[in-house]
Structure 1
């Protein structure tokens, strides 16, 4: 790894037959040294950022140890917003007191007076109003923004539509049947082989059924798309299996229900609409104004009558393929009766779409304190140009929430900024572009308080997908065969896996100094005849 990173010193490592610096212990120490160098660089950059926020989540690893992941979001030296791994810590418990203590310990090396925002997955231990981690941190750092991850919020909005006692009754049974079908074939190699044979008979793609998961709605999308493509084979095989398997008989009976095919088409259309939002909400360095735009577009799309028309077109197109769906068409003639589509719409489709819209609206209310930053958008300033008090209320709200912002100075700068925003170089910029302009070195001297406000807005994390990426790296590093890694080594390996530098860009001279100075008896074959490391 070190050689790939561009280190030329390793050609001199072979000092003797028993001194080559290539043992497992030395290699592990080298990896930890690289991690230490990356961490030192991160601390320096965050310390120079006017504001920073942290994303937090927890998971259980392969050795059944609870891991707490922290990713810090800050303004980098080049003025861009960055998100990097701060720490991966093993914690003894998942209660709020333990998690808060671990977070404060991990962030102790950073300037806590600039700690402005905290994002989590929305678990009760994280955002509980009385004793959650967010509230405990707020007690110590007044003005701290606590944010519920937007991807988790969207997932909850959708999954509530199919939950027991909450969702649409038919869709609850539908989701259960999809998962039961997956486990029916997953639990038997004979059944799986029988389904593959049916796929060959019907000349369909050789696909494996997928199971849905309410905690990961995107997995339900995969399950729906696969079933839609191989439905004829599944129907034919369940029909055969039903002769000897009671479970298959129950599944086949539900698949023959008149509402099942249009429901499958409905879920296919809705999944495709939601897929883009989920992809956007998991982007690195996602900005809060983008969330507002995506939520507004999603609600508008779900309310659009065209959505219902897309479902009907998909259903009718599916029915037109009589050769592949013959087993279904022979036994469910209700499709051709008058009023069928109206009954399906009233029973399943319209209640589902209405409930989904309501859930999205309730899960994504106004952006709260973050919404006050919208007045900095030139478009909004142009709309309120005739109002002499435009934006003052928002500036006062920001000053009350964030102690570092002084209301009087902020209002003075706001008046001057409104005139600046009407100039050609800013007039056509988006809110995010304006905020980045405000944190540029030259602008910070003109608008120091507005610049600080812009830094707070830009560093506010609205998702925790970056922590999920850290956990994905954790699964690759800590495996069943490597489940006894030391906590510090595990942290370093995951840091290098996520934020490790590209070959040729890493400062190997700093690494070598740190490595050799950590042990005074280490020797190196110097090609320069006595460099600073050999003195």
Structure 2
């Protein structure tokens, strides 16, 4: 932050003397995040139905956390928004469900309201998780626990995870696909991690082909629809 502020001063931007440090930058980021979250809340309030999405992940300190998202329709287009990243106190179904409830609460979504069509706000109609037993188990999984309070919710296995499992099974039995995957992974590593010159080279190649180079994803990256505000 300090370096960027000094650079702005060099080009003649008057930023004053009170905000040129990382502590103020943190305040700005939190303020921007809260403003964006309020905008999303207003959109979700106008939605009729939502799908609850969640998946496990780890941060840089290898702390397990749950990524909680909400999917709905905004102005006729599907949208998926991040509700929160919630550290897990326990990795069992109850702990994951508690994290999901906490994440939904960040967007003003309460489980009681999501279960009742007559209450204000959207109604939960689906839950989208990976196929892990803790999420989709028939007896004590997260999806089963959600249906105990919201019987109308339809839980289903994430399409992207299903596709990934199918690809992994195919790779095991098809040497040509495995070789192709290894080549693509090598190209990704070469152009994304080695040095900036490699990235400049691929951008130059894209320009020759009249294509704008924006991002080089990994072979199994899955995108989501952007929010249409």
Q: Report the TM range for the smaller structure's normalisation.
A: 0.5 to 0.7
The structural deviation recorded for 1:75 is 1.8
Identify the residue that residue 102 of structure 1 maps to in structure 2.
99
What is the rounded CA distance, in whole Å, between the counterparts of 2:185 and 2:21 in structure 1? 48
What is the rounded CA distance, in whole Å, between the counterparts of 2:185 and 2:72 in structure 1? 41
Distance 1:225 1:88, change over 3 A: closer
Match of 1:61 among 59, 62, 70: 59
More strand by share: 2
Q: Which runs of 5+ in 1 are unaligned?
A: 4-10, 164-170, 179-217, 228-277, 286-497, 506-535
Identify the residue that residue 47 of structure 1 maps to in structure 2.
45
Q: What TM-score, normalized by structure 1, do the two folds share?
A: 0.29
Q: Which stretch shifts more, 151-160 or 92-101?
A: 151-160
Match of 1:284 among 221, 224, 227: 224
Identify the residue that residue 89 of structure 2 maps to in structure 1.
92
Identify the residue that residue 134 of structure 1 maps to in structure 2.
143
Q: Which runs of 5+ in 2 are unaligned?
A: 6-12, 117-122, 187-218
The structural deviation recorded for 1:118 is 1.0
Quick check: 1:223 aligned with 2:182?
yes
What is the rounded CA distance, in whole Å, between the counterparts of 1:147 and 1:220 in structure 2? 32
What is the rounded CA distance, in whole Å, between the counterparts of 2:54 and 2:181 in structure 1? 28
Identify the residue that residue 35 of structure 1 maps to in structure 2.
33
Distance 1:57 1:224, change over 3 A: same
Quick check: 1:153 aligned with 2:153?
no
Q: Output aligned runs, 1:369-448, within 5 Å.
A: none
- Partner-residue secondary structure (3-state), 1:107: helix
The structural deviation recorded for 1:44 is 1.1
The structural deviation recorded for 1:224 is 6.3
After superposition, what is the alpha-carbon deviation per residue over 1:156-196, rounded to whole angstroms, capped at 9, x for unaligned? 23434677xxxxxxx4xx87xx9xxxxxxxxxxxxxxxxxx
Quick check: 1:120 aligned with 2:142?
no
**Structure 1 residue runs of 4+, over 6 Å off?**
224-227
What is the rounded CA distance, in whole Å, between the counterparts of 1:226 and 1:47 in structure 2? 42
The structural deviation recorded for 1:13 is 5.0
What is the rounded CA distance, in whole Å, between the counterparts of 2:21 and 2:185 in structure 1? 48
After superposition, what is the alpha-carbon deviation per residue over 1:210-234, rounded to whole angstroms, capped at 9, x for unaligned? xxxxxxxx8764226799xxxxxxx
- Partner-residue secondary structure (3-state), 2:48: coil
The structural deviation recorded for 1:54 is 2.1
What is the rounded CA distance, in whole Å, between the counterparts of 2:19 and 2:170 in structure 1? 59
Distance 1:138 1:39, change over 3 A: same
Distance 1:147 1:226, change over 3 A: closer
Q: Output aligned runs, 1:117-516, within 5 Å.
A: 117-160=126-169, 171=173, 221-223=180-182, 282-285=222-225
The structural deviation recorded for 1:23 is 2.2
- Partner-residue secondary structure (3-state), 2:61: coil
Distance 1:157 1:140, change over 3 A: same
Identify the residue that residue 402 of structure 1 maps to in structure 2.
none
What is the rounded CA distance, in whole Å, between the counterparts of 1:44 and 1:219 in structure 2? 46
Distance 1:44 1:219, change over 3 A: farther
Bigger relative contact order, structure 1 or 2 (CA pairs below 8 A, ≥6 apart): 1
- Computed over aligned residues only, the root mean square deviation of the Cα atoms, in angstroms, reads 3.6
More helix by share: 1
What is the rounded CA distance, in whole Å, between the counterparts of 1:60 and 1:81 in structure 2? 27
The structural deviation recorded for 1:148 is 0.5
